[in-house]
Amino acid sequence: MTAIKRGLAAASLAAVGALFLAACGDDHTDGTEHGSSASKSAEDQAEAEADAFNDADVAFAQMMIPHHEQALEMAQLADGRASDAEVKELAGQIERAQDPEIRTMKGWLESWKRPTAADSMPGMDHGSGHGGDGMMSDTDMAGLKALKGTAFDKAFAELMIEHHNGAISMAEDEQKDGEYADAKKMADTIVKGQSAEVEQLQAIVDRLS
């Protein structure tokens, strides 16, 4: 083989090698892009699932907000009326737990573009009270405001037991029917926390009777 032929052969081999490397490089790049795309898609899907909500979640927040607001109103009445140290502490505990939950639920409804007004929900008649939700009637609230000392302590505990049981029932519905992860988590907290408080309140009633 002449020097010229050898040179042409070497040049051809070099060209083939370069094309092969370029093809390999393209395959690697495509694989990386495909993998990145798949990973991003999975992340987007997980985020969408975490943000998913249904009608039960909306109803839970819309009904629990006014329910919590009334519990706060009841707890605030303890200031200047309650005489029992345990009742005073429990009233403060209720305020500390439920006020942040109200703000959180209002945030959910805002992000879902759903109304927060209690009047938008059927069956939320504050004046009637004593429905399945445990809401106090206007008469109950007026009667509680008029009491002081041990009479207030016992009435507060009795009314709050009924109120808490209503919240627990609503939270159990959310546990069963809800989809939004944070709402279901709050429902778990309400069931556990308020069930414990019901036991404490009942012990107060028994002690003061």
Cα(53)–Cα(191) distance, integer angstroms: 20
Cα(204)–Cα(20) distance, integer angstroms: 84
Q: What is the residue type of 152?
A: F
CATH number at residue 179: 1.20.1260.10
Structure confidence at residue 16 as a pLDDT band (50, 70, 90):
very low
For the question of whether the overall pTM of this predicted structure is more than 0.95, the answer is: no
| Segment 79-134, tens digit of pLDDT | 999 999 999 999 999 999 999 999 999 999 999 999 986 444 444 444 445 456 89
| Segment 145-175, tens digit of pLDDT | 999 999 999 999 999 999 999 999 999 999 9
Residues 10, 102 share a domain? no
Residues 40, 83 share a domain? no
Please give the tally of structural domains in the chain. Answer: 2
Residues 39, 27 share a domain? yes
Q: What is the residue type of 43?
A: E
Compute the C-alpha angle 179/185/186, nearest 5°: 110
- Which residues span the domain enclosing 15? 1-51
Mean pLDDT of 7-32: 48
Residues 95, 65 share a domain? yes
- The DSSP code sequence of 57-118 is HHHHHHHHHHHHHHHHHHHHTTTTT---HHHHHHHHHHHHHHHHHHHHHHHHHHHHT----G
| Segment 50-86, tens digit of pLDDT | 689 999 999 999 999 999 999 999 999 999 999 999 9
DSSP state of 119: G
Residues 73, 14 share a domain? no
Residues 200, 152 share a domain? yes
Asked which of 51, 66, 84 is the last residue of a domain, the reply is 51
